[in-house]
Amino acid sequence: MSLPFSTPPSTATASLTPFQAAIPKAKLIELETLLKLAKFAPPTYENSLTDRRYGVTTDWLVTMRDQWLRSYHWKSTEDRINSFPQYLTEIEGLTLHFVGLFSEREDAVPILLLHGWPGSFLEFLPILQKFREEYTPETLPYHLIVPSLPGFTFSSGPPLDRDFGTGDIARVLDQLMKGLGFESGYVAQGGDIGSRIARHLGVDHESCKAVHVNVVFMRKPDGMTNDHLDAFEIEGIENAAKFATLGSGYAMEHGTRPSTIGHVLSSSPLALLAWIGEKFLEWVDDPLASNDILESITLYWLTETFPRAIYCYRQNYPAPAIPASNEPRWYIHKPFGFSSFPMELARMPRSWIETTGNLVFWEQHQKGGHFAALEQPDELKADLVKFVDQVWPGITGAE
């Protein structure tokens, strides 16, 4: 029996294979064994500081390992994943996995939702859940497509025989959306790496008609001073500078030695928990539930995602780094929307964001951090709906 919201548009031309997550029992037993055998570091000054200025503490790691073994159950995650329609399709020799809620309305607006690292399609499941609770397949105003980026979770790739970056991801995803029947237009939304991919789509691909993001990676615009900024905006700039100095060591490792760190974190689930768990602790506003953290890290481990998913960081090294969003090449001339969350790692002022695109929608939130879709699903959903309702009639010529 097919799931609700699982029928693609009649205009779809892509060959789609229905998918269900099904991790072999042997992999789950291996994970449990490795966790039981994992050795912790000896006590040090650094790993005992409760403010985590030097990284995760031993106490936290021990507690999370025990929860992983005793109270977390992958089957519950697997069942939740499989409650949503999922498909596999082939594009440029890659197998691409996506979760989709398809509407039966002919006027439904296609929306592409893009995650980053250390995220996955799991980030958007709370938003999808809210949409399917609010609507039926007959009334849903949108088609919601959440791909696993190449190299992440159930998607294959990136290719082994050539370089591959955010521009390549955008090209593949544009083909996905066209293959699903959305060649006449779709909206892209993204955070983290997904925001860069969304910008590629908005700038380089005609079928992407509008872009909404919740982070922009950029330099200070030329000729602009801080005189007009308020204290909240200056705080955001200062926090971004602090992160670049004290919080970006992981990114340098990903970008300069992806092979080495890939081997290291593929050898131990406890190591993966420390490396990724730190981000789920530090990059949020209110703490995430332990179960949410374990869910994401378990998915990464069971699908061997980490070493396959950090390739985009190589674009930043060696200098010069990947072009900043405020360079003329990357200006979004199409309708551009932005949702600002206070604990975002690179929270830039509106006046700066306006230099990177045709900003027609802006919303400043009081809560939320880097994982906005997971932390504040109601707010991000509401912003996306308002943005699409604002820009789509003008794009399509509808009244």
Does residue 79 have an active-site annotation? no
Whether residue 100 contacts residue 145, with contact meaning beta carbons closer than 8 Å, is answered with yes
Q: 118: which DSSP letter?
A: S
228-244, pLDDT tens digit by residue? 999 999 999 999 999 99
Does residue 313 have an active-site annotation? yes
Given the DSSP bridges, would you call strands 86-91 and 94-101 parallel, antiparallel or unpaired? antiparallel
pLDDT of 398 over the 80 cut? no
Whether residue 103 contacts residue 137, with contact meaning beta carbons closer than 8 Å, is answered with yes
Per-residue model confidence (pLDDT) at position 328: 86
Q: Which of 115, 205, 365, 370 is catalytic?
A: 370
Q: Which of 168, 174, 192, 292 is catalytic?
A: 192
pLDDT of 326 over the 90 cut? no
CATH 2.40.100.10 describes domain 1-398: no
Strands in the chain per DSSP E:
17-18, 86-91, 94-101, 109-114, 142-147, 186-190, 208-213, 332-340, 357-364
268-313, pLDDT tens digit by residue? 999 999 999 999 999 999 999 999 999 999 999 999 999 999 999 9
pLDDT of 220 over the 60 cut? yes
Does residue 292 have an active-site annotation? no
Q: In whole numbers, what is the pLDDT of the chain averaged over residues? A: 95
Residue % of the chain over a pLDDT of 90: 91
Q: Which residue has the higher pLDDT, 15 or 319?
A: 15
CA torsion sign for 48, 51, 57, 59 is: positive
Q: Which of 115, 313, 365, 383 is catalytic?
A: 313
